[in-house]
Amino acid sequence: MAKYLFVTGGVVSALGKGIAAASLGNLLKARGLNVVLQKFDPYLNVDPGTMSPFQHGEVFVLEDGAECDLDLGHYERFTDTNHDQHNNLTSGRVYETILSNERKGEYLGRTVQVIPHVTDEIKKRITMSAEKNPDIDVVITEIGGTVGDIESLPFLEAIRQFRLDMPWNDTASVHLTLVPYIPTAGEIKTKPTQHSVRELRGIGIQPDFLMCRTIQPIGKEARSKIALFCNLPKENVFDGTDAKSIYEVPLNLHAQNFDGLLCQRFGLETEEPDISSWERMVKVILNPTDTVRIAIVGKYVELKDAYKSISESFVHAGIPNHVAVDQVWVDSEELEASDVGERRMKEIFEDCHGILIPGGFGDRGIEGKISAIRFARTNNIPFFGICLGLQCAMIEIGRDMVDLEKACSAEFDPTAAHQVINLMEEQKKIKNMGGTMRLGSWPCHLKPGSRAYFSYGQLEIAERHRHRYEVNNDYRDRFEEAGVVFSGTSPDGGLVEIMELPTHPFFVGVQFHPELKSRPHRPHPLFKSFVAAAVEHQNMCREDEAQRQAETDTDDESKSSRSEA
């Protein structure tokens, strides 16, 4: 029978509940247990698919096409496990189900209420993954938001009821809180944690473990004080000190025997986990032999979480290349100003050894993205375009290489003379916005001998998608005549999935989102190849600089000799 672990947060948001849950999942899996993680979000959206990246960060798409919270990305990266639509639940989804049932008369005329109908639906979703797969040993459920939020009360009440219904050692609660450090006083303060736990206990949930987020170790005295006032053993109070890399967190928790005590609490007998490969991986991340700079030209760069999976994919790709990737964030709108000429572009991308254009929607900042692509193409800087990045690359090439001066996308200009990007046929009759794009994993056939083929090392792949627009097949012949290679297509050849310029050091655009499948131990092949190309470009730049410096030194010596003579 599965065990159930609930992860809640208090004091403030953004403490890293997702990283904490993913790290515990990582350690339990290393102990040989089958683990599944799920995120319950209190907001009323049915899913984050229609939410602004500025508010919610990126939308993480699963294999089955579910649009989920970005914490699902952490779960998959830390446990190297694919999840499905049942692993993310929102209040919107709960109420949608309940109201649908009410309209069907399934409640037999009873008044529909938060208790028991909403809480019962939440409890049903808690056990759904384990009921689907009887081999699951531990289900870790993260509750979004902060204890004290009105929106999260039905979820916390459901947990209270659920723990009451289950045997004592089948459930456990981890509460993540902030323990602030006051520099002027030179000490940390435990009062916010005490208040947060008191709030949780007032709801009826006594946490079994506390993880204290802080910028420095909390120390024995503070640990004992927290344990005393929060009513739990001091060995169950753990340090969540800031780490240099999120991938250090499982190692830090294991060093405090968090996973061991958790298994003891559940009555699970396991062997000590073998985390040696994870330790080696973290060592490489923390001790790179070099650094390469890659510019990310996006329209949501003010919130880095909007591109969370891309950031992590660069960390993963740096490991086999033995480099750290310094990510330079460039707002694409800044590249649209009238005074942005070649000289200014060189200043913006100075010392950058690669340029990536990520996905997005709408026409804001598009011309800036196109300008960045032109700069990368004409200056032989490695370029990687993802989803919208591929579409912008097609527009740029169309305008400059295919003699289609008015090339554009139907998304940005429905009246454009040459819509090299147009709406997918099956999307034309769709009116609802939520969950209606081309979503999830789709197969792709690679062209033998292409850069994509050599990156993957195989002809058949499957990648995750999230888009409505595609390359217009009416223009494919003209692009191929100009030197573009469509190296990846749907199995029937009807949809372009990958395009590249073989004459360029690295110029690849993909319609899918490769960042969604990258893992620390299995970096995505295209990110790995892109970073390798950036490293090669950096080495060439260094050689050129060394050559110029040598020539300058020679000229100086010659002038000095003539002067002395």
Helix (H, G, I), strand (E, B) or coil at 141: strand
Helix (H, G, I), strand (E, B) or coil at 407: strand
Three-class DSSP labels, 365-389: CHHHHHHHHHHHHHCCCCEEEECHH
Residue type, 68: C
List the catalytic residue out of 74, 175, 316, 513.
Answer: 513
Residues 6+ apart with CB under 8 A from 452: 446, 487, 488, 498, 500, 508, 526
Burial of 491 (0-12, 13-18, 19+ CB in 10 A): exposed
List the catalytic residue out of 387, 392, 408, 444.
Answer: 387
Can you read off the two tokens belonging to residue 519?
A: 């893992």
Contact between 143 and 155 (Cβ < 8 Å): yes
Note if 212 is an active site residue: no
Contact between 382 and 530 (Cβ < 8 Å): yes
In angstroms, the CA 396 to CA 206 distance is 59
Place of tokens 């050559």: 547
Note if 106 is an active site residue: no
CA dihedral 454, 460, 462, 468 (to 10 degrees): 90
Half-sphere exposure of 426 (CA within 13 A, CB side): 8
Q: How far is it between the farthest Cα atoms of the chain?
A: 109
In angstroms, the CA 120 to CA 109 distance is 17
Half-sphere exposure of 130 (CA within 13 A, CB side): 21
List the catalytic residue out of 465, 515, 524, 537.
Answer: 515
Place of tokens 């169309």: 398
In angstroms, the CA 130 to CA 2 distance is 7
Can you read off the two tokens belonging to residue 85?
A: 């639509």
- Residues forming a β-bridge with 423: 469
Strands (E), 192-332: 209-214, 237-241, 290-298, 323-331
Residues 6+ apart with CB under 8 A from 547: none
Half-sphere exposure of 543 (CA within 13 A, CB side): 6
Residue type, 343: R
First-to-last C-alpha distance (Å) of the chain: 93
Note if 515 is an active site residue: yes
Q: Which residues are catalytic?
A: 387, 513, 515
